[in-house]
Amino acid sequence: MSKTAIITGATSGIGAAYARRLAQEGYDLIITGRKKEIIQKLADEVSARNKVKVNVIIADFAKEADIQRLLEVLKNKDDIEILINNAGQSGYDRHYEDLDITEHEKLVWTHEIAPMRLISMILPGMIKRRKGIIINVASIASFLPVTGLSVYCGVKAFVRLYTQSLYLELRDKGIKVQALCPGYTKTNWGKDYFSKRLIDEIPTAKGMTPEKVVECSLSALRKNKWVCMPGMMNRMMARLFPSLPAGMYYSMGKRMTPFR
């Protein structure tokens, strides 16, 4: 019997690493992304190498119509075992007031509304079969406010707490749920977005490969851990910062700004 994994935001980085890994494990894939040529190349690669089916959906989850197009594909699927909500937008290296509200809303649609709608679509089938995995990609930024990333930090904190609540609701129903909270990861977005100063000065900004992040995620999943923070330094930061005096805590958040 076939088994299917859905991976959003699979064009590159963590999403592409999940796609390659799960294809190796024999999963047929439904993958989404915004860059048609790049994601189709990935689909052709993993399909040929692993003899699995790969369905590509070009989608920008800041647009409701694109979310709905994916939901139409999924509504008659009854073999979805894994959902990985990885699609994301990075936020902006500007202060909140310097951007139109519609730009902030794109982050809410991509990081909050789209994952909720996908989960609502596939969850009844998982509960019926008493089998399924949901991984929502949050961020180390969900633990620390950062100057210039107000909405990004906010939506990632939502993802983390939303996932924790889902874990509590679903852990007795045969469904594994995880919030993946990576720090700086060596992706094209990371290299373009963060300043060299930030990467040089902050220990956790040295970065992990997407493949290592995915390996940590799947290892934690096997241990039924609801949250995965790849990297010892990232775990130390997430636990230490909230316990610091407010002035020091906010100073760290300001230091981590992506502003050049």
- Residue 260, domain member (yes or no): no
**Catalytic: 18?**
no
Domain span at 10: 4-255
Residue 15, pLDDT score: 96
- Residue 247, domain member (yes or no): yes
Residue 234, pLDDT score: 73
- Residue 158, domain member (yes or no): yes
CB 185 within 8 A of CB 234: no
Structure tokens belonging to residue 169: 């609701």
Residue 212, pLDDT score: 95
CATH of the domain at 242: 3.40.50.720
pTM: 0.88
DSSP labels, the chain: ---EEEESS-SSHHHHHHHHHHHHTT-EEEEEES-HHHHHHHHHHHHHHHT--EEEEE--TTSHHHHHHHHHHHTT---EEEEEE-------SS-GGGS-HHHHHHHHIIIIIHHHHHHHHHHHHHHHHT-EEEEEE--GGGGS--TT-HHHHHHHHHHHHHHHHHHHHHTTTTEEEEEE---SB-SHHHHHHS-HHHHHH-GGGG-B-HHHHHHHHHHHHHTT-SEE--SHHHHHHHHHGGGS-HHHHHHHHHHT----
Q: What are the CA-CA distances from residue 175 to residues 6, 109, 145, 212, 253 (Å)?
A: 15, 25, 31, 24, 35
Q: What are the CA-CA distances from residue 11 to residues 202, 210, 235 (Å)?
A: 28, 12, 27
- Residue 228, domain member (yes or no): yes
- Residue 130, domain member (yes or no): yes
Instruction: Give the residue from 35, 33, 129 showing the smallest Cα distance to 79.
Output: 129
Residue 260, pLDDT score: 42
Q: What are the CA-CA distances from residue 106 to residues 25, 147, 152, 221 (Å)?
A: 33, 19, 10, 29
Residue 147, pLDDT score: 76
Q: What is the pLDDT along the chain (260 residues), one digit of tens a residue?
A: 689 999 999 999 999 999 999 999 999 999 999 999 999 999 999 999 999 999 999 999 999 999 999 999 999 898 999 999 999 887 666 788 888 999 999 999 999 999 999 999 999 999 999 999 999 999 988 888 777 788 999 999 999 999 999 999 999 999 999 999 998 777 665 554 454 445 555 554 567 899 999 999 999 999 999 999 987 777 676 676 667 676 766 676 666 665 54
Per-residue three-class SS string for 154-198:
HHHHHHHHHHHHHHHHHCCCCEEEEEECCCCECCHHHHHHCCHHH
Q: How many domains is the chain built from? A: 1
Residue 192, pLDDT score: 47
**What contacts 98, CB < 8 A, 6 or more positions away?**
none
Catalytic residue, candidates 27, 152, 162, 184? 152
